[in-house]
Structure formats: C-alpha cells, structure tokens
Amino acid sequence: MSRSRIAWMLVAGLLVLSFGAAAASGSYRHYRALHDRLQLAEAAVQGRDTVLADLRVRLEAQRGVVGAVRSDADIARAALRTTQRQLTETTQDLRSGEQMIAAQQADIRALQTCLVGAQSALQHMAGGNAYGALHYMVAVDKECRAAQILLTVQAQR
C-alpha cells in the first residue's frame, strides 16, 4: 500500500474516532444535564414534602384549636339556654306577681271605698240624715260585699 493511502486511512480513522468521541461527549453531556435536572426535581419534591409535612402539623394544631373553640361554644350555648330558661321563669314569676299586686290593689281599693262610704253613712246617721246614710251604704254595697268576701277568705287562711 502506498503511503498516501495509509495516510489517508489514518486521517479517515482519526476522523471516525474524533466523530465517535464527539458523539459520545454529546451523549455524556446530555446524560449529565438530565441527571442534574432530576436532582433539582428531587430537591424540589423534598422541599415540597417538607412544606407539606409542616402544613399537616399546622393543620392538626388548628384542628385542635377549632375543637377547643367548638367545645367552648357548646358550653356557652348550654349556659345561654339555661339563662334563657331562668329568664323565662323569672318573667313568668314577675307577671304572676304583677297580676297578684293588681288583684290586691283592686281589693284594697274596694275595701277603701267600702270604708269611706261606711264612714260617710255613719256621719250622716250621726247628723240625723238617715236618707243620706242609706244613699252612701247603697252606693258602696258592691265594694263592701267584695271586702266581706276578702276578709272571710283571709280569716280562713
């Protein structure tokens, strides 16, 4: 073989080797870039996992707070219902008391009217005016009967 041919073959071999090396080098760089991206993605996932774990801890803490607040609210609602029931009972007692006072005031007015009428009748009788005395007694008859019933009931107690 001729020297030029051998040189030509050597150059061709070197070219093939250099293309192969270049192709292998590009493949390695591509692999390295993919590997670096994968590591970055794994680091991002780990970071998100850490954040997620922290959020879960915070969520459980908030659930505890919400549970305590709900418990306090339930206690407050029960206290409110008790207070409302007591207020209703007190209001009913107050109304009953007011009705009793109104009835007693009516009884006292009837008794006063009877006594004033009887006193006026006695004064007219003392003055010799029997007709005037009779007039006062008839005028307060209803109140005097009510007073008599009231005094009878009081005496039986």
The pLDDT, as a whole number, for residue 121 is: 94
pLDDT at 48: 83
Amino acid 154: pLDDT: 80
pLDDT value, residue 49: 83
Q: What confidence score (pLDDT) does residue 98 get?
A: 95
Q: Give the CA dihedral 102, 148, 140, 98, nearest 10 degrees.
A: 0
- Contact assessment for residue 110 and residue 147, using Cβ atoms and an 8 Å cutoff: yes
Q: Which residues contact 54 (CB under 8 A, 6 or more apart)?
A: none
Q: What is the pTM of this model?
A: 0.50
Give me the pLDDT at residue 28, please. 61
- Burial zone of 111 (CB within 10 Å; 0-12 exposed, 13-18 middle, 19+ buried): middle
Tens digits of pLDDT across the chain (157 residues): 566 666 656 666 666 666 555 555 666 666 677 777 777 777 777 888 898 899 999 999 999 999 999 999 999 999 999 999 999 999 999 999 999 999 999 989 999 999 999 999 999 999 999 999 999 999 999 999 998 888 888 888 7
> In this predicted structure, what is the pLDDT of residue 44?
77
Exposed, middle or buried: residue 115 (CB in 10 Å: 0-12, 13-18, 19+)?
middle
